[in-house]
Structure 1
Amino acid sequence: IAALMDVLGEPQRSYPSIHITGTNGKTSTARMIEALLTAFDLRTGRYTSPHVQSITERISLDGAPISAERFIETYRDLKPYIEMVDSQQDYRLSFFEVLTGMAYAAFADAPADVAVVEVGMGG
């Protein structure tokens, strides 16, 4: 993920982030924090997993999942960079890493005032 963020110009550095970690309750906590930030008129991005019905649920802006069209557009924008990073490593980016990169890029593009992010395994 570090290599992908590097070639994308570190989009995750364009806004502050709140990282949520732990065994249980991460999504509930992320939603509560997002609601508090929204109450202060801040534009929010939220990245959670897993999704329940649609993969677009994982990436939300202002409390709502991004549209399928925006999800696809974000992936298409990142695809050449994902392929570049994959070709330079002995392993491919994981599904979770690609989605994380998409979320960070979508939040920077929005732009979000703050991101609420569930961490993956290992932080």
Structure 2
Amino acid sequence: MSRVLLVDDQPEALSALRAVLVGRGYTVATAADGVEAFKRLQRTRVSAVVCDWRMPNMDGAELIESMQATSGLASVPVILTSGSDEAPSLPMKGFLRKPFALDKLLSLLAECENGAMTPGVC
């Protein structure tokens, strides 16, 4: 299975999603904001990033922009999550509206593992 980086400023959300993904065989790293996530991405190779859009310090959109500007990170797929109904116009694998169905996230992660990079909104 793949290594996934989860990014969210809500510790309960990180913990719950981490437990589910680990139970499904994923190796999971976590970060509390985009700044911490960007530092982790520079040290650790991941198959995908699942990131909340609205966070302090560096939000999900800023993280995606920083990744796009960094050699080696621009190709890492990002799945953005948010309570917002409107998906931002960013280079991302998918957008999941909170609360989202776990099967939608797992499907997007499976596509990331298989190299399918078609963007989508779920």
Taking structure 1 as the reference length, the TM-score comes to 0.36
Taking structure 2 as the reference length, the TM-score comes to 0.37
Which is helix-richer, 1 or 2? 1
Q: Which has the higher contact order (CA 8 A, sep 6+)?
A: 1
Which is strand-richer, 1 or 2? 2
